[in-house]
Chains A and B, each alone.
Chain A
Amino acid sequence: MSKVETRAIAEDLVVVPLRHYGLWIGTAAALAILALIVKALATNPAFDWPTVGKYLFHASIMRGLAQTLLLTVTIMVLAIIIGTVVAIMRLSPSRILNAFASAYIWFFRGAPALIQLIFWFNLSLIVREISLTLPFIGTIFTVKTNDVMTPFVAAVVALSLHEAGYMAEIVRAGIKSVPGGQTEAAGSLGMNHRLILRRITLPQAMRFIVPPTGNETINLLKTTSLVTMIAVNDLLYAAQSIYARTFETIPLLIVVAFWYLFVVTILSICQHYIEQYYGRSDQQAGAARGILHRAFKIGRVAQPA
């Protein structure tokens, strides 16, 4: 075939796209299942939507939600602080500090959260009193363990120590992800250790620390529902106390799920903006997209190369 002929054919021919029959069948099946779910939700009386509406903004549900949020924020802040300290210990040249940090992570990350929670709540079985005694001065104060270790305190202590085990590994991985050349270049410009950590290493480590920390926060929000086991008045506990009286179990569980999903959605959007802030050096000019796309990656499946 001559070159001229080839060109002529290429101009005339119509491209017929490949038909993806499997894709069509799959889509049809998904739509059918969706329709069934919607029908069940709408028609099954057990969902009892009027009751869901009645309790959605109920005062005790709101108090429970506030308690859940307070727990999540307090525990996460403590976990980030403890985790960063443990991470720096793990990266230190001292073998003792290193071993101590490794043991911490091994234990507090390894033992189940629920067991740690019940353990701290029952601390008074091991230690009856907590007191500070100094030599030559005597006892400064003494308190009964049961007075200090309220359900809320037990929840904060147990879950922040547990969460710090995860955070320590996240922070350590973040710091290690920054190439050594960055530290050397900063050193050759006369910057000292503290300046290098604050201005060069940590800002670059944040790009690796933020996404998993966001996941941990979302995870923790839901893990706090474990505290119902030790009678902390959180969102789930509030719902349980209502349906224990009224037997409207399913509607109240829907209320609880709604609020968890609502908070998770807000957190995801916040996480996205924080990631964008620390990843701004990766951006190509004109890469900005609509908020829906940025928050949920909706709008386009394939990225152009």
Chain B
Amino acid sequence: MTSRAENQSRFGVPQDSMVFAQGVRKSFGTLEVLKGIDLNVPSGSVACIIGPSGSGKSTFLRCINHLEEVSGGVLLVDGEFVGYDLRNGKLYEVRNDLLCKRRADIGMVFQSFNLFSHMTVLENLIEAPIMVKGMPRGEARDKAHALLERVGLADKATCYPRQLSGGQQQRVAIARALAMNPKVLLFDEPTSALDPELVGEVLLVMRDLAESGMTMVVVTHEIGFAREVGDQLIFMDRGVVEERGAPRDMIANPQSPRTREFLSRVL
């Protein structure tokens, strides 16, 4: 029995699940930030997470690729724990190289872009494919150019990040994540650091990705994007999922008073 099949039968993970969370808890010292989060993101779907700041949504996202260790619960990506191996009913922390290998399959886009500032756009895109996956240089460059074309920045390959606008930097960051052929892409408030007129170009690229069938988990304040592109909408508040549902229904007709209050403030 593969570990994936074992996990699936043990935790009742649906067949097509890409990200699966069950009772995920996370504490920083005595402060409990996540108090039992459940979530299933089917392969090829888009889940949008909204909520006030401090609700734990970014922390949850960072738990998915093990930038933060969970304090309890089950969190699987493509049927496997990211930072652990389940053997004989115990979770063994995995060695660093295996953790890196699994992380390479989970792309992440940050609020502050985090492009490598000492490298050109092209070097940003080919660094991990060459150094982590051992891809030949020529192949990595071809792929990078194709990705830059896709995000509309084919002419910026030789620029350094600080020569680009925020929206362009974020599109490069998305291309950099895509260069690793991830199974799932995590977005941590990708448009929150952008000037209002630059938000649209980033959302356009994300919409294009969603339409191409990429599995995405998006923490965002863009309710419009969640409504148009999201397959499910999760409203988090104070470390719990307050409400979840189909985006259109939930935005039009929120059930919980907290959701209603939050939506009335951001819409």
Residues of A bordering B, CB below 8 Å: 179, 181-182, 184-193, 195, 199-200, 203-204, 207, 278, 280-284
Cβ contacts under 8 Å, A193 to chain B: 96
Question: Is B160 in contact with chain A by the CB < 8 A criterion?
Answer: yes
Q: Which of B71-79, B125-133, B231-239, B244-252 contacts A (4 or more CB under 8 A)?
A: B125-133
A185 to B, closest residue via Cβ? B114
| Residue contact B128 to A191, C-beta cutoff 8 Å | yes
Is B162 engaged at the interface, CB distance under 8 Å to the other chain?
A: yes
Given contacts A184-B67, A281-B162, contact A190 B118 (CB under 8 A): no
Q: Indicate if the CB atoms of A188 and B106 lie closer than 8 Å.
A: yes
**Pairwise interchain contact A181-B132, C-beta atoms closer than 8 A:** no
Does B96 lie within 8 Å of A281, measured CB to CB? Answer: no
B260 touches A (CB below 8 Å): no
- Quick one: which of A182, A185, A283 has the most chain B CB within 10 A? A185
A188 touches B96 (CB 8 A): no
Q: Are B101 and A204 in contact, CB atoms less than 8 angstroms apart?
A: no
A182 touches B119 (CB 8 A): no
Residues of B within 8 A of A278 (CB): 118
Given contacts A181-B112, A182-B116, A185-B116, contact A192 B67 (CB under 8 A): no
CB-defined contacts of B65 to chain A, threshold 8 Å: 188
* Complex partner residue of B117 from A186, A191, A281, A284, CB under 8 angstroms: A281
Between A and B, 28 residue pairs with Cβ closer than 8 Å are: A181-B110, A181-B112, A182-B114, A182-B117, A185-B115, A188-B67, A189-B103, A189-B127, A189-B180, A190-B100, A190-B102, A190-B105, A190-B132, A192-B97, A192-B100, A193-B96, A195-B131, A199-B127, A199-B131, A204-B116, A204-B117, A207-B118, A281-B117, A281-B161, A281-B162, A282-B160, A283-B160, A284-B163
In the complex where A184-B67, A184-B110, A282-B162 touch, is A192 in contact with B116 (Cβ < 8 A)?
A: no
B132 touches A189 (CB 8 A): yes
Q: Assess whether A186 is in contact with B67, with CB atoms less than 8 Å apart.
A: no
Return the contact of B128 from the options A190, A204, A281 (Cβ within 8 A): A190
- Number of B residues near A (Cβ < 8 Å) is 35
**In the assembled complex, which residues on chain A have CB atoms less than 8 Å from the CB atom of B67?**
184, 187-188
A290–B215 alpha-carbon span in the complex (Å): 53
Chain B residues within 8 Å of A195, by CB: 131-132
**Complex contacts, B177 vs chain A, CB 8 Å:** 188-189
One digit per residue, 1 when the CB lies within 8 angstroms of any chain A CB and 0 when it does not, for chain B 103-144 equals: 111111010101111111000000110011100000000000
A179 proximity list for chain B (CB < 8 A): 114
Smallest CB–CB gap between A265 and chain B, Å?
29
Q: Does B176 contact A (CB under 8 A)?
A: yes
With both chains docked as a complex, state the minimum distance between the C-beta of B67 and any C-beta of chain A, in angstroms.
6
A186 touches B116 (CB 8 A): yes
The answer to whether A281 touches B119, judged by C-beta atoms less than 8 angstroms apart, is yes
Which of A182, A191, A207 makes the CB contact (< 8 A) with B132? A191
Q: Which residues on B sit within 8 Å (CB–CB) of A190? A: 100-105, 128, 132-133, 180
Residue numbers in A under 8 Å from B96 (CB-CB): 192-193
Task: Find out whether the CB atom of A204 lies under 8 angstroms from the CB atom of B118.
Answer: yes
CA–CA, A280 and B161, complex, Å: 12
Closest 9 CB pairs of A and B: A190-B104, A185-B114, A189-B128, A188-B108, A181-B114, A281-B160, A190-B132, A190-B100, A190-B103
Which residues on A sit within 8 Å (CB–CB) of B163?
284
Closest chain B residue to A282, Cβ basis? B162
List residues of chain B with CB within 8 A of the CB of A184: 67, 110, 114
Return the CB mask of B147-185 against A: 1 if under 8 Å, else 0: 000000000000011110000000001001100100000
Apart from A192-B97, A204-B117, list 7 A-B contacts with CB within 8 A: A185-B116, A187-B67, A188-B107, A188-B108, A190-B101, A195-B131, A199-B127
B residues near A203, Cβ cutoff 8 Å: 118
Q: For A284, what are the chain B residues with a Cβ–Cβ distance below 8 Å? A: 163
Given the known A-B contacts A181-B110, A193-B96, are A188 and B127 also in contact in the complex, defined by CB atoms under 8 Å?
no
| Chain A residues with CB below 8 A from B112, complex form | 181
